[in-house]
Chain A
Amino acid sequence: MSSLPIAHAGHWLVNLLYLVPLVVVIAMLTVTSMRDRRAEAAEATGASASDSPASDEYAAP
């Protein structure tokens, strides 16, 4: 038997299938945005640490 017996559920189930790509993309974009923000924050922290006098002291031989 090659077909799935979803029957009347098709009325709303098929409609939901159109939403799936949007949900997947939004989830992935949210994760990507959060990672980008974290990476930027880490970069900014690293840059400010290397600019500070304290870091200069540690960097001095």
Chain B
Amino acid sequence: MNLRRLLAVLAVTVGTLALLPQAAVAHGVVGREDLPIPKWLFGWGATVVLVVSFVGLAVLWPKTRLEEPSERRFASIPKLLDPICGAIGVAIFVVIVYAGFAGSQDTRSNIMPIFDFTIFWVAIPVACLLFGDVFKAFNPWRAIARAAAWIATTVRRKPLPAPMPYPAALGRWPAVVGILAFTWFELVYTGRGDPSNHAVLASGYAAVQLVGMALYGIGPWTRHGDAFGVYFAVIARISPLRWSREGLYRRLPLSGLTTLDAVPGTVALLCTMIGTTSFDGFSNGPAWGEIQPRMADSLRNLGLSQLTAFHISFTIGLVTVVVVVSGLYRLGITGMRNASNTDLTTTELAARFAHTLAPIALAYVVAHYFSLLATDGQAMFYLVSDPLGTGANIFGTADTNIDYTWLSATVIWYVQVAALVLGHVAGLVLAHDRALVTFKDTRAATRSQYWMLAVMIAFTSLGLWLLSAANS
């Protein structure tokens, strides 16, 4: 088998290169003294792991295991838990937004920005991976909408009029817009450190969600239009746990993703999640450091102010990276279609395999923001005692400090590599399993996945390159 030969060639090459002395490259672009091999060689090693996984799947995974998910209920949930969690979610939301408006406007002293970028954006996805869709229970705008609906029904003593049907063509596009808007604020907008801007954004977002839920119903809007609800719910499908009002269920990890309905906007949402995180890494690297000033200069020559030129150049960068990531995925799907002689169109195939991008999106988040969570996340210890930054000490922890040394750069790098490799192997597993039920036989399924393997290797190499550039 040719793939075995490929594997052998890669393994021997990586092994040989690992024994060679490191090249003396200017400005310390590669390698750290505490890493045994240069960083780019990790990319080669990750490729070997992906190829081994691919061959292993082709040989040892002849029948689908994830496409017919079975789950088992193992705990019941008290009915009161849902409203209690909702009330906690609303309380946290109110305190955080109030702190943003009324507290100190210093980024490090106010709970709002750090909660937003560290806990909300990074810790919740990790919690969803481990424990299922915990955000759904604490979702403040969903809780407010449900409470309002309950009160209205009780007062009227008759059911509320049925909401409008959610437009099928809209799919998850509102969520795509929401994620793009949030990441634009996080990565492009220069006022992102201002707590009151966070508070305005959070209030506006909640208002849009309440309008959406009033028009189309709480469930349909939460499943399709609420950017964060959709994002966290997709990540939670990786988890071995699923929550519902009836109870807590356990299932095979990843199997929840196979039932993801690939409505319009789903592929775009996942590519946006990967692309925006990629841009975060890219914008911290030397390549963007050279491109962006030139782009901003050109824009200033057109008569734009320095700030506008900065915002536009970063916006172009953000959108370009999302388009590149989408293009890579599309290229892989086109290759898959050509290799498999299927009757499905490229768009249909892209939708069928969209769920394979979810573990990659999570891997990118963990790889890029793990160090942020590990360090800035500690700020929550003092911020819960003094959320407004006014000198309060509610829980007696206001004097704690952030320990930036508890994780070494080496450990962070290994966690980043492990997250990327695991995420892409999970993507390969999902793609192989889906191919088994999409194409006529195991041989056709394996052949169709040659290009998915190439896509996974491309994303892994891209991820490692971005991380190494951002860390350099």
A residues lining the B interface (CB < 8 Å)? 2-11, 13-15, 17-22, 24-26, 28-29, 31-33, 35-36
Q: Which residues of B contact A21 (CB under 8 A)?
A: 10, 43-44, 47, 457, 461
Once the chains bind, are B26 and A7 in contact (CB under 8 Å)? Answer: yes
Select the stretch in B17-25, B215-223, B260-268, B364-372 that faces chain A.
Answer: B17-25
Q: Which residues of B contact A24 (CB under 8 A)?
A: 6, 9-10
For the A-B complex with A10-B30, A32-B450, A33-B339 known, give 12 more contacts whose Cβ atoms are closer than 8 Å: A3-B22, A4-B23, A13-B25, A14-B30, A15-B469, A21-B10, A21-B457, A25-B47, A25-B457, A29-B450, A29-B454, A31-B2
Q: Assess whether B158 is interfacial by the CB under 8 Å rule.
A: no
Q: Assess whether B249 is interfacial by the CB under 8 Å rule.
A: no
Q: Assess whether B453 is interfacial by the CB under 8 Å rule.
A: yes
Once the chains bind, are A25 and B40 in contact (CB under 8 Å)? Answer: no
B294 CB, nearest partner CB in chain A, Å: 16
Q: Assess whether B199 is interfacial by the CB under 8 Å rule.
A: no
A33 CB, nearest partner CB in chain B, Å: 6
Point out which of A3, A7, A21, A36 has the most chain B C-beta atoms below 10 A from its C-beta: A21
| CB-defined A-B contacts under 8 Å, sample of 21 | A3-B23, A6-B25, A7-B25, A11-B27, A14-B29, A14-B38, A15-B465, A17-B40, A18-B465, A21-B10, A21-B44, A22-B461, A24-B9, A25-B6, A25-B454, A29-B450, A29-B453, A31-B2, A32-B2, A32-B3, A35-B2
B residues lining the A interface (CB < 8 Å)? 2-3, 5-6, 9-10, 21-27, 29-30, 38, 40, 43-44, 47, 51, 286-287, 339, 447, 450-451, 453-454, 457-458, 461-462, 464-465, 468-469
Bound CA–CA A18/B9 (angstroms)? 17
Q: Which residues of B contact A15 (CB under 8 A)?
A: 287, 465, 469
Once the chains bind, are A25 and B23 in contact (CB under 8 Å)? Answer: no
B41 CB, nearest partner CB in chain A, Å: 8
Bound CA–CA A32/B25 (angstroms)? 36
Once the chains bind, are B454 and A18 in contact (CB under 8 Å)? Answer: no
Bound CA–CA A33/B340 (angstroms)? 10
Q: Which residues of B contact A3 (CB under 8 A)?
A: 21-24
Bound CA–CA A20/B38 (angstroms)? 14
Bound CA–CA A39/B270 (angstroms)? 37
Bound CA–CA A37/B10 (angstroms)? 25
Given the contacts A18-B465, A24-B10, A25-B6, A11 and B286 also touching, CB distance less than 8 Å: yes
Q: Pick the contact of B29: A11, A25, A31, A36 (CB < 8 A).
A: A11
Q: Which residues of A contact B23 (CB under 8 A)?
A: 3-4, 6, 10
Q: Which residues of A contact B462 (CB under 8 A)?
A: 18
Given the contacts A18-B464, A21-B461, A25-B6, A2 and B21 also touching, CB distance less than 8 Å: yes
B454 CB, nearest partner CB in chain A, Å: 5
Q: Which residues of B contact A33 (CB under 8 A)?
A: 339, 447, 450
Q: Pick the contact of B24: A5, A11, A17 (CB < 8 A).
A: A5
Bound CA–CA A7/B26 (angstroms)? 4
Bound CA–CA A35/B24 (angstroms)? 41
Bound CA–CA A15/B25 (angstroms)? 12
Q: Which residues of B contact A11 (CB under 8 A)?
A: 26-27, 29, 286
Once the chains bind, are A10 and B25 in contact (CB under 8 Å)? Answer: yes
Once the chains bind, are A28 and B2 in contact (CB under 8 Å)? Answer: yes
Bound CA–CA A6/B10 (angstroms)? 24
Bound CA–CA A33/B447 (angstroms)? 7
Q: Which residues of A contact B27 (CB under 8 A)?
A: 10-11
